[in-house]
Amino acid sequence: MKTVVIGGGAAAFFAAINTKEHFPNSEVVLFEKTSKLLSKVLVSGGGRCNVTNSETSISSFSKCYPRGEKQLKKLFGTFNNHHTIKWFESRGVELVAEQDGRMFPKSNRSQTIYDLFLSETERLGIKIQLKSGINSIKQEGEKINLEVNGQNLLFDKVIVCTGGSPKLEGFNWIKTLGHKIENPVPSLFTFNIPNENITKLMGLSVPNAIVSIQGTKLKNKGSLLITHWGMSGPAVLKLSSFGSRMLSDQKYDFNINISWCGESNFEGVKEYFQDVIRANTKKKLFNIRPFNFPKRLWSYLLQRSEILEEKPWGELGKKQLNKLVQTICNDTYWVKGKTTFKEEFVTCGGISLEGINMKTMESKHIKNLYFAGEILDIDGVTGGFNFQAAWTTAFIASKLN
């Protein structure tokens, strides 16, 4: 049996290695368009490669995929993050979890993953051909005909792992096979907030903010990071992922509401403040920081509510208190534009899952043709979920069922 894996990224290597392990007598070849292998793996997670996430329940894990949740939930029954951890560990690469669940190689270097994949392909005798972009795929009886470097080659099985494309035209060669393509748009980006003083707080992180997109049900609670151009951090990145298509349609021009204290119930927050006032009548506002707000944030919120920091708590009038509570639990910002999140970005969209047998990853249009990785209309939030989708789909495709 001759199998070809198209691509030289995470999904392709995982597919090639596992195919050879499942079918030791088969010939496995990997074709990569460029002269480089595993480029994204090397830069991933800021050079540390966030391989997967330690989240324990399959149900919660699957919820981290705005596209592909339902299908992945089933696939995780066969190959999930625990399998990933064992897969790497059994090959000498220990993965270590950080407090937020992200898992990295113990070395903290992406190079470790790169080296492992390269040594595994060598050990298994997988052939790698660089500068070999596939231009077309055709079915020829039971076999598949690939056009590469001006030649036409026949294979028994083909696994396509060519990654996402920011443009629809990038999928033209697949479209001709009868597969529907979901329009690609960016996911995982940060919000630009022009003309606002908030960016003066750059570098400040608020652990439990609630960020919501006005006029939608999209809402997320988590850590919010102020940057010199706007807002980032897990709370924002998750929203960018779940709202990616809608925000693209809105041309990245929308309003967000923020609860800085992680509670959006106005009356509840007001009661909390009334207790603070009773306990600190004579003390100055800047000396008592509610919700353990960082000093710079508290000072900013008072300024934004047009209240003097020097004022004693007991002299806070009813109108001022309402304004302060409003700022703290329902602050509004205009977002205009987005910025690429350098540590991880992915494309939402790609090959529609409708045309794929989601038990085997085989094309419903062409027999013996399989898909894995970011080329599919599957993407996750930040935290190791995108690589996990690549490992899972590649492992299942490598069974060639």
Query: Where does this chain bind ligand FAD (CB under 6 A)?
Result: 6-12, 31-34, 39-40, 43-45, 49-50, 133-134, 161-163, 343-346, 373-374, 384-387, 390
Paired with 210 in beta bridges are 221, 259
Q: Answer yes or no: are the C-beta atoms of 41 and 16 closer than 8 Å.
A: no
For residue 392, give the nearest of 64, 1, 167 by alpha carbon: 64
Q: Which residues contact 332 (CB under 8 A, 6 or more apart)?
A: 214, 255, 256, 257, 258
Nearer of residues 155 and 300 to ligand FAD, judged by Cβ: 155
Question: Which lies closer to ligand FAD via its Cβ, residue 132 or residue 259?
Answer: 132
For residues 44 and 54, which CB has a smaller minimum distance to ligand FAD in the complex? 44
Q: Which is nearer to ligand FAD, 50 or 212 (CB)?
A: 50
CA–CA gap between residue 75 and residue 359 (Å, rounded): 7
Bridge-based pairing state of the strands 253-259 and 230-232 = unpaired
Q: How far is the CB of 362 from ligand FAD (least distance, A)?
A: 17
Q: 96, exposed or middle or buried, with CB in 10 Å at 0-12, 13-18, 19+?
A: middle
- What is the C-alpha to C-alpha distance for residues 148 and 292, in angstroms, rounded to an integer? 61
- Shortest approach of ligand FAD to residue 95 CB, angstroms? 12
Q: Least distance to ligand FAD from the beta carbon of 119, Å? A: 18
For the record, the structure tokens of 370 come out as 């399989």
Q: How far is the CB of 285 from ligand FAD (least distance, A)?
A: 42
CB of 222 to ligand FAD, least distance (A): 17
Between 146 and 247, name the residue whose CB sits nearer to ligand FAD. Answer: 146
Which CB, 184 or 373, lies closer to ligand FAD? Answer: 373
Indicate the residue among 41 and 210 with the shorter CB distance to ligand FAD: 41
Residue 299 CB, nearest approach to ligand FAD (Å): 35
Amino acid at 80: N
Name residue 358's amino acid: M
Question: CB-wise, 6 or 210, nearer to ligand FAD?
Answer: 6
Paired tokens of 318: 């009813």
Q: State the minimum distance, in angstroms, from the CB of residue 148 to ligand FAD.
A: 8
Give the nearest distance from C-beta 208 to ligand FAD in angstroms.
24
For the record, the structure tokens of 44 come out as: 């991933």
Query: Of 22 and 131, which CB lies nearer to ligand FAD in the complex structure?
Result: 131
Least Å distance, CB 237 to ligand FAD, is: 12
